[in-house]
């Protein structure tokens, strides 16, 4: 009887140890979430190549923000999809109105520009994301287009930003149809905000504003299909 009791006690302890072992197993760790695009990227230029601190950037209400670290000791040309500017030696900050999607950016030297065609092989890809929907796409569907540019004197005063939509509606009233909708175009917190007239899902006219340098906005350019 004593031997049987000892065997039963041994089996009970062993079963208890087995249960404890299963209960203390480590839970699986959740997969880490990808980091959201940064609000600003750093472009490093040394005169021989370009590198970015991140492959993607999140668009802001006024465009994309790029810090340029020019370590070459000379002025370079900062080139982007739809234009560019100077990149002086040292650190400088720039804002570009580049739409969401994939673009290329980088610094170029005079030697790069003097080639025919210019050597843009050193530009690096950058993905522009728009997680907050701050960019309003413009989709022209025209066989032809006409443009008009306004000219003002130094004392001209425009409307406040809160009245830009009303001013745009007035500027495009001659082409607006009842079924058209007036919508923002591109980035709105820029020095050249604009509105577009959309018909059947496509842009048929656009008005762009410029600052009067006194807190107001003046009609600068009107583009129309036809």
Per-residue pLDDT tens over the stretch 201-218: 999 999 999 999 999 999
User: What's the mean per-residue pLDDT of the chain?
Assistant: 87
> What are the extents of the domains in the chain?
40-129, 145-225
Per-residue pLDDT at 16 exceeds 50: no
User: How many C-alpha atoms does 23 have within 13 Å on its Cβ side?
Assistant: 6
Per-residue pLDDT at 28 exceeds 50: yes
Distances (CA, A) of 187 to 13, 79, 97, 107, 221: 71, 20, 7, 24, 16
pLDDT value at position 226?
84
Separation of alpha carbons 82 and 79, rounded Å: 8
41, 47, 49, 52 alpha-carbon torsion, rounded to 10°: -10
Separation of alpha carbons 16 and 189, rounded Å: 68
CATH fold of 40-129 reads: Immunoglobulin-like (2.60.40)
Q: Which residue has the higher pLDDT, 169 or 4?
A: 169
Separation of alpha carbons 99 and 138, rounded Å: 10
Per-residue pLDDT tens over the stretch 127-154: 999 999 999 999 998 989 999 999 999 8
Share of the chain above pLDDT 70, in %: 85
Residue 83: pLDDT band with limits 50, 70, 90? confident
């Amino acid at each position: 009887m004593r031997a049987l009791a000892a065997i039963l006690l041994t089996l009970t302890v062993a079963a208890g140890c087995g249960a404890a072992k299963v209960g203390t197993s480590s839970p699986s760790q959740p997969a880490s979430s990808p980091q959201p695009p940064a609000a600003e990227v750093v472009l490093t230029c040394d005169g021989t190549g370009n590198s970015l601190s991140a492959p993607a950037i999140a668009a802001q209400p006024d465009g994309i923000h790029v810090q340029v670290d020019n370590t070459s000791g000379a002025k370079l040309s900062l080139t982007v999809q739809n234009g560019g500017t100077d990149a002086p030696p040292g650190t400088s900050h720039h804002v570009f109105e580049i739409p969401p999607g994939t673009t290329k950016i980088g610094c170029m030297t005079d030697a790069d520009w003097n080639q025919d065609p210019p050597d843009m092989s050193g530009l690096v890809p950058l993905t522009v994301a728009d997680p907050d929907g701050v960019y309003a796409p413009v989709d022209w569907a025209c066989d032809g287009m006409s443009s008009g540019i306004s000219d003002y004197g130094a004392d001209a005063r425009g409307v406040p930003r809160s009245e830009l939509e009303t001013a745009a509606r007035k500027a495009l009233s001659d082409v607006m149809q009842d079924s058209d909708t007036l919508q923002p175009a591109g980035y709105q917190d820029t020095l050249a905000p604009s509105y577009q007239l959309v018909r059947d899902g496509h842009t048929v006219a656009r008005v762009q504003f410029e600052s009067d340098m006194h807190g107001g906005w003046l009609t600068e350019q009107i583009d129309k299909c036809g």
